[in-house]
Amino acid sequence: MQIIPAIDIKDGHCVRLKQGDMQSATVFSEDPAAMAQHWLEQGATRLHLVDLNGATSGRPRNELAIREIVSVIGDEIPVQLGGGIRDLDTIERYLDDGIGYVIIGTAAVKNPGFLHDACYAFPGHIIVGLDARDGKVATDGWSKMTGHDVVDLAKKFEDYGVEAIVYTDIGRDGMLSGINIDATVKLARELKTPVIASGGIASIADIHQLMPFEGDGIVGAIAGRALYEGRLDFKEALKAAKG
């Protein structure tokens, strides 16, 4: 199982939010590229980037910082990126810049045809981000709840050929309250597509809890605030994730 450090970018800085609230941003670094280099040196095998301004505005807002991260990382490890990706031209530009995987969230829910086209045009490079509270999907930087059931939507998108699904419990993200194991495992068991767990990882205990379900299709876990606040030691997490 991969432990994937998150670099959330707001106004060019590396920050963390609580439950997606843009007003609750804590700045952990003024230099996201240096942070990416740090995680690479610590042994990361993948990075998770989010353009937070892009997620709320619906178009890329931190491309300079993202390019700087890619220039530092090169082709050492894959980088996955979400936030404000709403058209094929943006996907193509990011992939040309060196991003390995593009995460489509809000646009997938609001415009499934776009997701279908993206999977067809860029096979192997499209990940869907499903953010949910109490089993229902949220969009627009988590500011709007929909009536869509997360499992039903995931099955639909699986048929399109998505590479993976990042599942985030938005009630727990940034709260250090522990990952929603039950909901994550339930989703993974309903799919053949790999699931990456996100939202709420607080300590090494969460990694140990996830590990027994790797065989159910949970291939990775994204960690953010717990890493930045020192509650989760990254090298210890990597060791635990190797079983």
Active centre residues (catalytic)? 8, 131
Strands 126-133 and 136-139, by their bridges, are: antiparallel
Cβ–Cβ under 8 Å, residues 138 and 146: yes
Beta carbons within 8 Å of 206's beta carbon, 6+ residues apart: 178, 179, 200, 221
Nearest alpha-carbon partner for 3 in 232, 188, 186, 237: 237
Which pair of tokens denotes residue 71?
């220039």
3-state secondary structure of 202: coil
Nearest alpha-carbon partner for 19 in 135, 172, 166, 126: 172
Which pair of tokens denotes residue 226?
């717990």
